[in-house]
Amino acid sequence: MASKRKLLLLSTSTVFGSEYLQYAKTEIDSFFKRNNVAKILFIPFALRNHDEYARKVKDALSVWGYEVKSIHESSSYVEEVNNAQAFFIGGGNTFLLLKTLYDHSLIEPIRKRVLHDGIPYMGSSAGTNVATISICTTNDMPIVHVPSLNALALVPFNVNPHYMDPTPGSKHMGETRETRINQYHEIPGMPPVVGLREGSILEVIGDKVKLLGDLSGRVFIEGELTKEYPADSDLSFLLNKTN
């Protein structure tokens, strides 16, 4: 049976010179309208000030015609997940986000709604990280202890949002993002990783994965040479890649 998943995974919420989510307006609007979404459940757990974060998201998406409710405003988080038309999990600290999802027993309910009920899911930065197998390839600092590094596993690969290339002429001698990801793959059996540059988006519809935006993406697979894929590439092979 074909997968029901519908995901829009953003590298970031804001790019230089643009307002919050504005750079991805076309993709976001198309994604939700194609799936008949009018109401979005926002999950603000990647930052501590939930009221302020929710207000920012509501201000941005209400202008586009969407009704946004933040899960923290409810007395029953699981009930909100079970009744949601769509999810948006925003960026911030990935460890704090994942810990809070575990604290409120939301991992399995969200996973069920997305994979079995076909509820659309949008993530940005940390929200993209938790959509993958684990948060092992986040750039964030572990400011809290998480029960597990395992995340929602809505896709069978990992993402490195905000992927950065080495700066030409730089005298920095520390590890690059590419070096760090290759070190991750020194452990046998680790899943593929997509280096998602700022402004890039992964759209996952059923068994199809497409790289959206203007920039290329970098794909790391254990035991294989790293490959660069241009914008609009079909990356569906990642859904079937096993080590």
Any idea which fold 6-240 has?
Rossmann fold (3.40.50)
Mean pLDDT within 87-92: 98
- pLDDT of residue 210 exceeding 90, the answer is yes
Q: Which residues are catalytic?
A: 125, 140, 162
Domain ranges of the chain: 6-240
Q: pLDDT band at 153, cuts 50/70/90? A: very high
Within 10 angstroms of residue 60's Cβ, the number of other Cβ atoms is: 18
At 1 the pLDDT is 47
Question: pTM to 2 decimals?
Answer: 0.95
Q: What is the residue type of 86? A: A
Whether the predicted pLDDT of 78 surpasses 90: yes
User: In the chain, pLDDT over 70 holds for what percent of residues?
Assistant: 96
CA 139, CA 31: separation in Å to the nearest integer? 27
Sole residue written with tokens 């520390």: 174
What percent of the chain clears pLDDT 90, i.e. is strictly above it? 92
* Residue 121 pLDDT: 98
Could you tell me the pLDDT band of residue 2, with boundaries at 50, 70 and 90? low
- pLDDT of 71 over the 70 cut: yes
Sequence-separated contacts (24+) of 220-226 with Cβ below 8 Å: 220/178, 220/181, 220/182, 220/185, 220/192, 220/193, 220/194, 220/195, 221/185, 221/192, 222/185, 222/188, 222/189, 222/190, 222/192, 223/185, 226/178, 226/182
- Report pLDDT for 169: 73
34-48, 90-104, 229-243: which range is least confident on average? 229-243
